Structure 1
Amino acid sequence: MRRLRLIASLCLPLGLGIGLSGCGLTRPPAQVEAPLPAQWHAPLPHGGSLASLADWWRQLDDPLLVELIAAAEAASPNVASAAARVAEARSTRVQAGAALLPSLDGTASASRGVSGSSLGAGGGGSTTSSSTTVAPLTTLQAGLQSKWEIDLFGRLRADRDSAEAKQNSANAKWHDARVSVAAETANAYFAERACQEQLRVAESDTRSRAETSRLTDLSAGAGFTSPADAALARASASDASGRLIQQRAQCAVQRKALVALSGIDETTLEQKLAASPAQRVLPAVGGIASVPAQAISQRPDVYAAELGVASASADVGSAEAERYPKLSLSGSIGRLQYRTDGFKQSLDTWTIGPLSLTVPLLDGGSRVANTDAAKARYAEAVSTYRASVRQAVREVEEALVNLDATAARTTDADSAVKNYQVSFNATQARYSSGLASLFELEDSRRTLFTAQTARVSLQRERTEAWVALYRSMGGGWSRPESSSMTTTPTAKVATSP
């Protein structure tokens, strides 16, 4: 109680003397260290240049991909949910800010009744007589009532700061949802293109094996080829036909996934895909800062986690302030009018007060428990922030490694397909002239098919690594310049101790 009286005696005169701004319990924020390496341990694909990442999918110069991503964002429940959370957080922020200001309510009332008076007369032995006069009474009242909680210990300001951080965090999560949808759609689109490329390889292989089977059957019928070789050729053709059917089914399933993502009718989507070029060259990668701290600051999810720490810190200050006295001031002005039997009387009223001070005494430990719970949520937010930074570093490093590895393998894959094709052509010519066996031809064909399939898979891997890198870098999002956070994930984030 001595401590409460001392705080109240210091804060109350200060609040009344300088506009009732009060004194706050919050102290200057401390710093939370984030685990970031000094440099990347994976090769940068551009030599350290810092080109813009904004709208990275437009760099492909593929209008269909841009259209699909826009359609997917419009159809995505995750983006819609994130947008709803932004609107909710904005409303909460307005409410928290309004709590710092006086409230003003208008009131009006009307009532109607009757009023009466009695008159009596009598004397001596005469009988007493009386009369009652009844008149209607109308009462009209209108006024304004105001109430203001003076933020002595910073509870309302802490609530406002927490709500503002949550609103900014919701905005960042909305951007993160958009980036995720764009990346998912791009991956589905590239998977569709890779599936169609693999389908063309399977169709070519099937046609080649079917032609070999036909010619072998003719040769066996003329007695120039053994029945065993003819059976081998037919088995090879059937095997290729089965793979072709399987590949078509895979492409059909993949297309339905793209339909579900974009919300575009399947027939319309098929027409758009048929009218668009099958494969485009991936652009050079830019915008990957050599210093991880600069790169990670571009991620909206890390920024959201950072704001989560700030919000939790403000919540601790608010819960702590709940343990101290509350000061509120109220007042009203109004007019009251009476009307009865041709008589009218108006009264103007106003009041200032009461100026009330509420001091918490006994609450069974609930306020202390609320403070402890807020501190636990703060510790959880710090842990989540640090984990998000570690995960962000991991995702960027993995994407850099995969992109570099797929780039290095591309030349070898192209060379393998080219040379296996030359070898197959030569073996086929030798087989046609009777200098090579059917077994040699089929072995050469199988090797070529494997190399062609591997090259298509590598192209798919490279596009996935390209998308993963841009997604891990935030997809072109940049931290707001007007952010209230004074630090970055460089290693520190502002919090309360």
Structure 2
Amino acid sequence: MRHCLNLLLLSLLGTVSGCAVTLPQPESAQLAPKASAWQTPLPTTSHLAEQQVWWQSWQDPVLNTLLNAAQQANPTLELAEARIREARAKAYATKAYLWPTVGATASGSRSHNTMIAPAQPINAGSVGLDASWEIDLWGGVRTAEKNLLANLSARTIEWQDARASVAAEVANAYVALRAYQALAEIVALDLKSRNHSLQLTQEKEQVGLASPVDVALLDASSADALAQWVETQEGIGMAKQALVALTGWSAQQVNAQLEQGAPRLPQPVGFAMNAVPAIVITQRFDIRVAAENVNMAAAEVGISKVAQLPSLSLFGVISLGQQEVGSLSINGNAWSFGPTLKLPIFNAGRLKSEEAAAVARYDQALAAYQQKVRFAVREVEQTLQQLDGNQRRIAAMQRSVAGYQQQQDASNAMWQAGSASLLDLEVSRRFLLGAQVKQMALQRDQLSLWIALYKAVGGQWPVDGIREEAIVK
């Protein structure tokens, strides 16, 4: 009878262990964006690079050095790495539940009781092994493992996102710095010109060829240019502080690195971009994390279903003991083995409610994924629209600067010849400087928009091999 029961139990285990609860699966129509093509034309530049080597295509050694420095020691990346290690440890810990647990015990005691004759000391000791194994009848452990593996994948994606985000922050700070430096050169030349005009007018006033009003006008104009120059220096200082915080270098190291490059804006370089929104969107880190959140929520639904089903565990004990009373010694061993079957019968609807809550969380995760997809499509479309509009504004502003420069040169020549008033000269100067400032701002915006598009399409940081393998595996 015992052998028959054992065979029946093994047969039952073989049949039931192949059963597993079904997990909810979203339909493909629920995941893909509805748009089959971008509504805004893709941007075009004289040079297109692949995203993996996009930063190198800027051909700016100073920027590349700063980017690599920020990737080496950054608290954001270290935090993401620690989360990966935690998620990996949890995933490995779950796999252990698929195997039996074995423990060893050892005990010893010495006692003396005068109430029992003869009153002699009693020595007792035992050693033993105990083992237990909860059978994964319905795939609950494997479902929990899927949940934690999805969590591990999400944390790894977040680490990759952190790398791209840090690169974008460094690039934006660097672009801002170079824009302020280039603008500072323009303002410094303008300030020098205004100071020279002020000095000449003061000399003319001394001999009666200029009025105090003209001197006051040029003095106010010089002060205005000085204020603009101070503003550019403030912007340079703030951009440098941002680079110090991002790279972890000292201010002296950052300054030394920046001095190796020319104070000019990098030339905008585009990158190849797929025309199919579904392909582009699924590259984004936040979309991939949202997809893993859906997988985690689906696994939680499976776990809640398994909690309502019977569970079977095996338990076994082997014990060796010895007891000594005076000259009498008793040795022996004991063992036991048997299954334990647990069946949830009444829990006041708690398990059903937990399943309903898990299903609701799954629906929330799926809705959050769909919302992120829509937002991602909108973000890419808006960035493409801004790039296109900004490029047109740059072309128009180039014509504006060229025209105001001609007017300024002519007004300056006429003023020196005495055929134009000082007011005419200052008006043309203000028009030219305003156009140059707008042109520089638009060029900076163009680079910033390319960086924003890099982030919007899920731009990848180049794989460096050793570190990537150490984190991902």
The TM-score bracket by the shorter chain reads 0.7 to 0.9
Check conservation: 2:175, 2:266, Cα contact below 8 A. no
1:333 counterpart SS class: strand
- Following superposition of structure 1 onto structure 2, how do residues 195-210 of structure 1 map, counting pairs within 5 Å? 195-210=180-195
Aligned to 1:8: none
1:85 corresponding residue in structure 2: 83
| Per-residue deviation, 1:183 | 1.0
**Counterpart for residue 219 of structure 2:** 234
Instruction: Decide whether the 8 Å contact of 1:305 with 1:385 is kept in 2.
Output: yes
Cα offset, 1:341, TM superposition: 5.5
- The aligned residue for residue 200 of structure 2 is 215
Instruction: Tell me whether 396-405 or 36-45 shows the greater mean CA deviation.
Output: 396-405
Q: Which amino acid aligns with 1:364?
A: A
Counterparts of 1:463 and 1:57 in 2: how far apart (Å)? Answer: 12
Find the aligned partners of 2:328 and 2:48 in 1 and give their Cα distance: 85
Of 16, 21, 24, the match for 1:25:
21
Change (3 A) 1:61 1:348: farther
Aligned match of 1:276 in 253, 257, 261?
261
- SS across alignment from 2:259: helix
List aligned pairs for 1:75-474, cutoff 5 A. Answer: 75-113=73-111, 132=118, 134=120, 137-139=123-125, 141-279=126-264, 281-282=266-267, 284-338=269-323, 346-353=331-338, 355-474=339-458
Displacement of 1:259 in angstroms is 2.2
CA shift at 1:292, angstroms?
A: 0.8
Return closer, same or farther for 1:224/1:26 CA change in 2, 3 Å cut-off. Answer: same
State the SS of the aligned residue for 1:379.
helix
Q: Deviations over 1:282-335 (max 9, x none)?
A: 353223111011111211211110010011011011111211211111113343
Question: In 2, distance between residues paired with 1:346 and 1:54?
Answer: 73
Correspondence for 1:122: none
* Paired residue type of 2:439: R
Distance 1:432 1:36, change over 3 A: same
Q: Which sections of structure 1, spanning at least 5 residues, go unmatched?
A: 1-10, 120-131, 480-497
Contact 2:120 2:326 in 1 (8 A): no
What is the CA–CA distance in structure 2 between the aligned matches of 1:293 and 1:162, rounded to whole Å? 25
Q: Hey, what does 1:38 align to over in structure 2?
A: 36
In structure 1, what residue type is equivalent to 2:25? P
Q: State whether residues 179 and 444 of structure 2, in contact with CA within 8 Å, keep that contact through their aligned partners in structure 1.
A: yes
Q: Secondary structure at the match of 2:287?
A: helix
Distance in structure 1 (CA, Å) of the matches to 2:378 and 2:77: 25
Deviation at 1:338, TM superposition (A): 4.1
Distance 1:440 1:28, change over 3 A: closer
Structure 2 distance, partners of 1:189, 1:196, is 11
> Structure 1's 344 and 64: CA in aligned 2 closer, same or farther, altered over 3 A?
farther
Q: Secondary structure at the residue paired with 1:329?
A: strand
Q: TM-score, normalised by structure 1?
A: 0.83
CA drift of 1:114 comes to 5.2
| Structure 1 CA distance for aligned equivalents of residues 259 and 269 of structure 2 | 26
Shift in Å at residue 75 of structure 1?
A: 4.9
**Contact (CA 8 Å) 1:24, 1:152: kept in 2 or not?**
yes
CA drift of 1:12 comes to 7.0
Contact 2:177 2:239 in 1 (8 A): yes
The equivalent of 1:127 in structure 2 is none
Which structure: larger Rg? 1
Structure 1 residues 25 and 14, CA gap change in structure 2 (3 angstroms): farther
Task: Please tell me the residue identity of whatever aligns with 2:367.
Answer: S
Query: Quick check: 2:87–2:155 contact (8 Å CA) kept in 1?
Result: yes
For normalisation by structure 2, the TM-score amounts to 0.87
Matched-pair contact (CA < 8 Å) for 1:26–1:154:
no
Which SS does the other structure have where 1:54 is aligned? helix
Structure-2 separation of matches of 1:39 and 1:80: 38
Q: Percent identity?
A: 35
Distance across 2 between alignment mates of 1:279 and 1:36: 42
Per-residue CA distance 1:197-222 (angstroms, 9 max, x = gap): 11112111111111111111111222
Pick the structure with more helix per residue: 2
Residues 15, 405 of structure 1: CA spacing in aligned structure 2 closer, same or farther, 3 A cutoff?
A: farther
Q: Write out per-residue CA displacement over residues 172-212 of structure 1, whole angstroms, 9 at most, x where no aligned residue.
A: 11111221121112111111111111111211111111111
In structure 1, what residue type is equivalent to 2:123? L
Alpha-carbon distance in 2 for matches of 1:133, 1:401: 98
2:60 to 59, 62, 80: 62
* Deviation of 1:268 (Å): 2.3
| Structure 1 residue 457 displacement after superposition | 0.1
Distance 2:104 2:63 in 1: 56
Contact 1:319/1:374, CA 8 A, preserved across alignment = yes
- 8 Å contact from structure 2 (residues 412, 425) kept in 1: yes
Cα distance in 1 for partners of 2:53, 2:77 equals: 17
Cα 1:212–1:248, aligned 2, differ >3 Å: closer, same or farther? same
- Alignment CA distance shift 1:146-1:55 (3 Å): farther
Which position in structure 1 is the counterpart of 2:4? none
CA contact (8 A) 1:42 1:400 kept: yes
Deviations along 1:62-101, one digit per CA (max 9) or x if unpaired, are 3332332344345543323222221121122112222222
